[in-house]
Amino acid sequence: MSSEPLLRARGVHRRFRTGPTVVHALRGVSFDVAAGCMVALVGRSGSGKTTLLNVIGGLDRPDAGTVHVDGADVTALDEDGLSRLRREKVSYVFQSFGLIPVLSAAENVAAPLRLARVAAAERERRVELLLELVGLADHARQRPAELSGGQQQRVAIARALAASPRLLIADEPTGQLDAETGLSVMALLRGVVESEGVTALVSTHDPVMMALADRVIRIHDGHLHDEAAGQLGEPVPDAG
Amino acid sequence: MNRWLTHRWPAPHWPSVRGRGRTDAGALLLTAAVIAVVALLAAAVPALLRAAADDAVQDTVRRAGNESHLLVHADWERDAGPTGGRLRISRLADDVDDLRARATYTLGPDLDTALLPSIAVVNSPILRITDGNLPRTVQLTYLADDLDGPDVTWIAGNAPGPAIPERSIEIPYHGPPWPMQVGLSEADAAALQVGPGDRIPAEDDHGRDKDIRISGIYRPADSTDPAWRLAPALLRPVPGADGPGTTRVAALLSRESLPDARLAFDQDQLRRTVHFAPAPDALTWEATTTLASQVVKLKASSGSSAARDGSLKWESQLDTVLRDARTQISAAFTQAAVLLAAVLTATVLVLLLAADLLVRRRTPALSAARQRGAALPDLGAELIIESTVVSLSAAAVGLALAHTTAPGASWTWTIPVVLAGAVAGPTFGTLAAARASRDRHQPANPAARRWILTTGRLRRAAVETAVLIAAVAAVGTLHQRGLLPDTANGDTGELTGDLILPISAVALSALAGALVVLRLLPVGLRIVLRQALRSRRPLAVFGAARAATTAARALPLLVLVSATALASFALVVGATITRGLDDGAWHTTGADARLDISSDVQDATPALAERIAAAPGIEQVVAAQITDSAPLFTESTLLTPRLVIVDAAAFGRLLATTPLPDAPALSQLTAPGPDPAAVPALVRSSTGDLHTGTQLQLSLDNGPTIRLTAVGTAPPVGGAGDVVIVDAAALAEAGLPAVPNTIWVTGPGTAQAVSHSDVPADIVLRTDILQAQRVAPLTAGTLRLAWTTAAVLLALGLLGLTLAAAAGAQERWQTLTRLRTLGLRPRDARWVAAGELLPPVVVAAVCGPLLGALLAHLTLGPLELQLLTGQAADPATVLPWWLLGLTGVALVAAATAVVPVEAALRRHDRLSEVLRSGE
């Protein structure tokens, strides 16, 4: 594990205005995540989990504070810079899988590689490897509708790993899966973190996932409470 | 417990109804606007057509002129006297009045209302004037109406009186010519150069002289009196009435001179006829069937023409004229019905699409309500209350506007639109709510997933097969049965059940064609996708992938292809009618103008032709002698075709500069024929009596008999079925010089040049004929409807495109946003969006017009458009490619505009919303 954290958030504030009402989703959130870690982000609905993931992934901009991913200041990047960040360093796994229905499992996995203009041979090799990794080598030519929900989420994970990101963000990845399938997906995530050396930040309600994580960060009303593998931990002091 | 005891009526949650209405006011108003506009069109068109139908009947009857008169004849009582001679019956005019009264009584109330007061006409045979000058004829005529004949002023001499003072006298058969007094109009007297006291030297066909004494010269008090139309020669000489080169004058008999006229001719030579002219303003389309059948009954009840008694013998073409008018009207009704069915089909599809959009917007709220425990019947009731209020209110507005535009508007055609508006939304909404409480997980069992896919495919295939079968059956019925109502079962003018299928043929075929395109598009897009996957361009892959994904959505493509195809079909109908009218006008006149020269000045024709040719803006001038019913003998029979004697080369040049079909065979008229002793002729026959190789003998006006030999096919000349064309020079060489009586003129300066003609001639301008056809009530109405239908269908297509884009916007945004999480740049996302939207639109823009053209090719024949254009045969289908292309361009332009508009509308949407958004 590198001494430099892969993810560094400092004093992140995010407010939403709904008419006259202002909702503070994040209130000065600061934390670091070391490379190669699997972090479970837990909290009740509306606690700010998704907002935090959005800000970290560059899908949303904070009102204040900074987020660095692999040394890049996400909050300072323009649209092209964010596109490049998402292409090269950050990837996502959606609760609803987000696969392209008419493309086969292999073609879905290859999508980020196409955007990164990876050569066809290298692309095919990488896709084959990833499908092997998620246990779907025999389903490469099948379309999402021909796969079960768990298999679709495995394809989504393979796609997220395709461009060899440094950070994988997954928001409730087992939300649409039954318990057994969800467990296998979580185990897969745990496995790929280790095998691919990727850092994973996963929001979840699933206690099994929390058990699989290297670290659990609880978020409540926009504040963080850090606990390492089942123990309460101190949040990183606000740099600001 | 009995289910009825536990049953409860749906209990709508009114605040939800109001809330949904407020939230989706825009979409509901759009639906209402579509229903109102189409209801206005569907309700007003039949009423406007019914009004046009009355005008059309009146117009047709007016154009038919004397052909539409109802005539009745009756023989005279014999005038044999007690001593073997003939009695002079002094009250003979009373017999004529009695005939009028009997005939009027026999008519019955319906015909009596539809006809003008009768006019009795007593005519003598045509007599040849023997003053040795020009070939002239004279006819003696007595007119009687309710006012005892048309009023005249005797400007010289007196009204005709009895030839002898005795009221009753018996004369021997075969005695000397019996004298009779007549009056002459000023023009006739001037033409004959006679005055009061003079005699008109005349003889009958047997060469027997007649003693016709002129008692006076009259001037009509009102030359437009309908009675004069029955004997126009009573006003002035009529050239050509008894053959080319002849002029007829007429002499007026009075009540007092009529008995002498009878004695002056053989027993039955004086013919009495009562004319009933239709009162066009009193004719209505609804009455045509009754009137026609009553005329037929009268004709059927006629006494035998061979019977020598006083029985009434009816003659009329009025029934045929009315039936023709009714056939034309029925054709216009069914043509309008075909176009309306097209509009309604597209409207129903658009309303389904609008309902789909509305339900997509409402699905989260409906799902939430369902998950909170709302019962499906309650939700369905809420939705149906809303949609019914919207649909009925909109239809009421449309109907009210239709009533303002066209009194008597009917709501029948609005039913499908109102039903679609009222039912589609609640059905889709209830299904969406029902899905919310169902397990949405994809089954883990592959067999279960396959079963779901298979049942879905089978359901869709069943629906598509049903539509295809219906379309094939409809087109088959259209071709076998046609579109005209079944007159054998009594044509009521209403759309009967047996007409529904053929009327729907075009709409069903468009739908079937759209389904075929719907089946083929995904196949095509998968091929494109496969190609894109081999390429190095990621945008092509994602665009094609999106297009292939959304191609599975049936409604948008059905709306786009059907609306475009039906709009194209309407454009083809409009263009075909327009060109048909134009062609009809060319065929009627044969040039930009045709001058029919009066027979008494035909010597001036060549000089007139030269003067016209010298006028500015004249391209072609051709003079010809046209003789209708020219006596031509074959070896076995007498034929009476239209004989055209013309400079063949000039006629060929004329045809070459007009849209009329060229006639290269004309050159054969000036080349040596197979028989050097015969003049070459081109022939045309509707019955096959005339064909190449036919040998003919022509004899005109006591001229030499000329042998003709048919060497080719003649081009059509006017509406004549049988035509013979010979070259004027060749005929002159054979001894029969032509006397041109017709001049054809072409060129932009035609109207100006012929208007200054100083020679008496009937000038027939093509533009006048065309204009008259265009403004004819049914033609104008159907043309307007065709263009309006095309515009409405195109608007529906564009609306469908907008709705389809809006319905897919959320999903498209989610996909694009997910692609952006993979690293797609914002500006590239627009290309992917265009890649999704454009393929179905381009396919619709290309396939729609092609399908419309195919539909026109398949169905225009049975549509009987020639009944509107007045052509003898079906008008040639005209494909207005630039208009069809414009339809496609409009669609593509609209689709292209959707992408930036959508991007602008979405610019405030946060990318972050995608992380949690479900599919």
Q: What are phi and psi of B88, to 5 degrees?
A: -85, 115
pLDDT of B88-119, one tens digit each?
A: 888 889 999 999 999 999 988 888 888 988 99
Lay out the sheet containing A7-18: strands in order across. A21-33, A7-18, A64-69, A72-73
A235 pLDDT more than 90? no
Distance in Å, alpha carbon of A94 to nearest chain B alpha carbon: 6
**Percentage with pLDDT > 90 across chain B:** 31
Query: In whole angstroms, how far apart are CA B279 and each of B224, B285, B317?
Result: 16, 13, 15
Taking an 8 Å cut-off on Cβ atoms, the answer to whether B824 and A59 are in contact is no
Distance in Å, alpha carbon of B5 to nearest chain A alpha carbon: 40
| Region B324-343 average pLDDT | 88
A60 pLDDT more than 80? yes
Q: Which residue of A has its CA nearest to B912?
A: A59
Cβ count near A4 (within 10 Å): 12
Whether residues B130 and B172 fall in one domain: yes
Taking an 8 Å cut-off on Cβ atoms, the answer to whether A112 and B914 are in contact is no
Query: Nearest to residue B402, comparing CAs of B383, B382, B417, B419?
Result: B417
Chain A residues inside the 8 Å CB shell of B533:
107
Whether residues B711 and B614 fall in one domain: yes
Taking an 8 Å cut-off on Cβ atoms, the answer to whether A149 and B444 are in contact is yes
pLDDT score of B636: 77
Q: Is there a domain that residue B386 lies in? A: no
- Per the CB < 8 A criterion, the answer to whether B576 and B860 are in contact is yes
- Say how far apart CA B580 and CA B858 lie, in whole Å: 18
A209 pLDDT more than 60? yes
Chain A residues inside the 8 Å CB shell of B839:
none
Closest by Cβ to B911, choosing from A59, A91, A176: A59
pLDDT score of B853: 94
A135 pLDDT more than 70? yes
Taking an 8 Å cut-off on Cβ atoms, the answer to whether A176 and B545 are in contact is no
Confidence of residue B560 (pLDDT cuts 50, 70, 90): very high
- Say how far apart CA A84 and CA B252 lie, in whole Å: 108
Taking an 8 Å cut-off on Cβ atoms, the answer to whether A181 and B444 are in contact is yes
Whether residues B791 and B876 fall in one domain: yes
Closest by Cβ to A54, choosing from B548, B820, B912: B912
Q: Is there a domain that residue B60 lies in? A: no
Q: Which residue of A has its CA nearest to B917?
A: A96
Taking an 8 Å cut-off on Cβ atoms, the answer to whether B821 and A102 are in contact is no
Chain A residues inside the 8 Å CB shell of B912:
50-51, 54, 59-60
pLDDT score of A239: 35
The residue ranges of every structural domain in chain A are: 102-164
pLDDT score of B11: 76
| C-alpha radius of gyration, chain B, whole number | 38
Domain boundary among B711, B729, B759: B759
User: What amino acid is encoded at A46 in this protein?
Assistant: G
- Decide the pairing of beta strands B642-646 and B723-727: parallel
B109: buried, middle or exposed (CB in 10 Å: 19+, 13-18, 0-12)? exposed
Closest by Cβ to B549, choosing from A51, A97, A102: A102
Concatenate the DSSP letters of all residues of chain A into one string. Answer: --SS-SEEEEEEEEEEEETTEEEEEEEEEEEEE-TT-EEEEE--TTSSHHHHHHHHHTSS--SEEEEEETTEEGGG--HHHHHHHHHHTEEEE-TT----TTS-HHHHHHHHHHHTT--HHHHHHHHHHHHHHTT-GGGTT--GGGS-HHHHHHHHHHHHHHT--SEEEEESTTTTS-HHHHHHHHHHHHHHHHHH--EEEEE---HHHHHH-SEEEEEETTEEEEEETTEEEPPPPP--
- Per the CB < 8 A criterion, the answer to whether B171 and B264 are in contact is no
The two tokens of residue A24 are: 């503070």
Query: Nearest to residue B574, comparing CAs of B348, B780, B836?
Result: B780
Closest by Cβ to B910, choosing from A60, A83, A147: A60
- Say how far apart CA A98 and CA A100 lie, in whole Å: 7
Q: Which residue of A has its CA nearest to B919?
A: A96
The SS3 of residue B152 is: strand
pLDDT score of B889: 93
Query: Nearest to residue A184, comparing CAs of A210, A227, A205, A154?
Result: A154
Confidence of residue A2 (pLDDT cuts 50, 70, 90): very low
- Decide the pairing of beta strands B70-73 and B313-316: antiparallel
B398 pLDDT more than 50? yes
pLDDT score of B189: 93
B629: buried, middle or exposed (CB in 10 Å: 19+, 13-18, 0-12)? middle
Whether residues B832 and B724 fall in one domain: no
Taking an 8 Å cut-off on Cβ atoms, the answer to whether B826 and A83 are in contact is yes
Q: Is there a domain that residue B391 lies in? A: no
The SS3 of residue B718 is: coil
pLDDT score of B573: 94
Select from A103, A174, A180 the residue whose CB has the most chain B CBs within 10 Å, as the one to mutate to test that interface.
Answer: A103
| Region B539-556 average pLDDT | 85
| Region A98-108 average pLDDT | 88
Closest by Cβ to B823, choosing from A54, A83, A146: A83
pLDDT score of A229: 40
Domain boundary among B759, B788, B811: B759
Whether residues B237 and B89 fall in one domain: yes
Q: Is there a domain that residue B724 lies in? A: yes
Select from B822, B831, B832, B907 the residue whose CB has the most chain A CBs within 10 Å, as the one to mutate to test that interface.
Answer: B822
Specify the residue for token string 């990845």: A173
Whole domain around residue B899: which residue ranges? 550-587+768-919
Chains A and B form CB pairs within 8 A to the count of 111
- Per the CB < 8 A criterion, the answer to whether B350 and B420 are in contact is no
| Region B541-570 average pLDDT | 90
Q: Which residue of B has its CA nearest to A139?
A: B446
Residues 6+ apart with CB under 8 A from A88: A116, A163, A165, B823
Chain A residues inside the 8 Å CB shell of B453:
145
Distance in Å, alpha carbon of A218 to nearest chain B alpha carbon: 19
**Strand ranges inside B259-410, DSSP E:** 271-276, 313-316
Closest by Cβ to B826, choosing from A79, A91, A178: A79
Confidence of residue B664 (pLDDT cuts 50, 70, 90): confident
Confidence of residue A128 (pLDDT cuts 50, 70, 90): very high
Q: What are phi and psi of B308, to 5 degrees?
A: -95, 75
Q: What are phi and psi of B39, to 5 degrees?
A: -65, -40
pLDDT score of B665: 84
User: What amino acid is encoded at A63 in this protein?
Assistant: D
pLDDT of A153-177, one tens digit each?
A: 889 988 988 888 899 998 888 777 7
Whether residues B220 and B254 fall in one domain: yes
The two tokens of residue B226 are: 């309908």
Select from A79, A115, A123 the residue whose CB has the most chain B CBs within 10 Å, as the one to mutate to test that interface.
Answer: A115
- Say how far apart CA A87 and CA A6 lie, in whole Å: 17
Distance in Å, alpha carbon of A14 to nearest chain B alpha carbon: 13
- Per the CB < 8 A criterion, the answer to whether B874 and B866 are in contact is yes
Taking an 8 Å cut-off on Cβ atoms, the answer to whether B442 and A152 are in contact is yes
Closest by Cβ to B916, choosing from A57, A88, A171: A171
- Say how far apart CA B599 and CA B244 lie, in whole Å: 7
pLDDT of B596-645, one tens digit each?
A: 876 666 667 888 888 888 888 899 999 998 887 788 888 778 888 888 99
Q: Which residue of A has its CA nearest to B523?
A: A102
Query: Nearest to residue B197, comparing CAs of B252, B158, B234, B254?
Result: B158
The two tokens of residue B162 are: 């009895």
Q: Is there a domain that residue B673 lies in? A: yes
Confidence of residue A193 (pLDDT cuts 50, 70, 90): confident
pLDDT score of B599: 63
- Decide the pairing of beta strands A223-228 and B209-220: unpaired
Closest by Cβ to B818, choosing from A60, A94, A152: A94
| pLDDT, chain B, mean | 85
Domain boundary among B251, B273, B295: B273
Distance in Å, alpha carbon of B365 to nearest chain A alpha carbon: 19
The SS3 of residue B301 is: coil
Closest by Cβ to A92, choosing from B446, B541, B821: B821
User: What amino acid is encoded at B375 in this protein?
Assistant: A
Q: How many domains does chain B have?
A: 3
Specify the residue for token string 């024929």: B673
- Say how far apart CA B27 and CA B33 lie, in whole Å: 10
Asked whether the CA dihedral B372, B373, B378, B383 is positive or negative, the reply is positive
B352 pLDDT more than 90? yes
H helices of B496-647, in order, are: 497-503, 505-534, 538-550, 554-589, 605-614
Query: Nearest to residue B896, comparing CAs of B818, B821, B833?
Result: B833
pLDDT score of B244: 57
- Per the CB < 8 A criterion, the answer to whether B10 and B300 are in contact is no
Taking an 8 Å cut-off on Cβ atoms, the answer to whether A57 and B821 are in contact is yes
| pLDDT, chain A, mean | 83
Whether residues B88 and B165 fall in one domain: yes
Query: Nearest to residue B802, comparing CAs of B662, B902, B689?
Result: B902
- Say how far apart CA A71 and CA A57 lie, in whole Å: 13
**Percentage with pLDDT > 90 across chain A:** 14
pLDDT score of A238: 37
Q: Is there a domain that residue B143 lies in? A: yes
Taking an 8 Å cut-off on Cβ atoms, the answer to whether B821 and A91 are in contact is yes
Whether residues B712 and B817 fall in one domain: no
Whether residues B773 and B751 fall in one domain: no
Confidence of residue B777 (pLDDT cuts 50, 70, 90): confident
- Say how far apart CA B803 and CA B353 lie, in whole Å: 7
Q: Which residue of B has its CA nearest to A160?
A: B822
- Per the CB < 8 A criterion, the answer to whether B359 and B380 are in contact is no
Distance in Å, alpha carbon of A137 to nearest chain B alpha carbon: 17
Whether residues B611 and B725 fall in one domain: yes
pLDDT score of A92: 87
Tally the C-alpha atoms within 13 A of residue A9's C-alpha that lie toward its C-beta. 25
pLDDT score of B371: 79
- Say how far apart CA A235 and CA B2 lie, in whole Å: 65
B694 pLDDT more than 90? no
pLDDT score of B495: 62
Whether residues B672 and B785 fall in one domain: no
Whether residues B662 and B775 fall in one domain: no
Q: Which residue of A has its CA nearest to B449?
A: A146
Taking an 8 Å cut-off on Cβ atoms, the answer to whether A53 and B915 are in contact is yes
The B-side interface with A (CB below 8 A) comprises 441-444, 446, 449, 453, 526, 529, 533, 536, 538, 541-542, 545-546, 548-549, 814-815, 818-826, 910-912, 914-919
Element (H, E) at B221: none
**Percentage with pLDDT > 70 across chain B:** 92
Select from B439, B440, B441, B442 the residue whose CB has the most chain A CBs within 10 Å, as the one to mutate to test that interface.
Answer: B442
Q: Is there a domain that residue B381 lies in? A: no
- Say how far apart CA B824 and CA B76 lie, in whole Å: 103
Residues 6+ apart with CB under 8 A from B132: none
Chain A residues inside the 8 Å CB shell of B546:
100
Query: In whole angstroms, how far apart are CA B276 and each of B223, B229, B892?
Result: 19, 12, 61
The two tokens of residue B360 are: 């997509």
| Region B139-168 average pLDDT | 88
Chain A residues inside the 8 Å CB shell of B910:
54, 59-60
Select from B449, B521, B531, B821 the residue whose CB has the most chain A CBs within 10 Å, as the one to mutate to test that interface.
Answer: B821
Q: Is there a domain that residue B407 lies in? A: no
pLDDT of B214-266, one tens digit each?
A: 999 999 999 888 889 888 899 988 876 666 567 889 999 999 999 999 999 98
pLDDT score of A226: 62
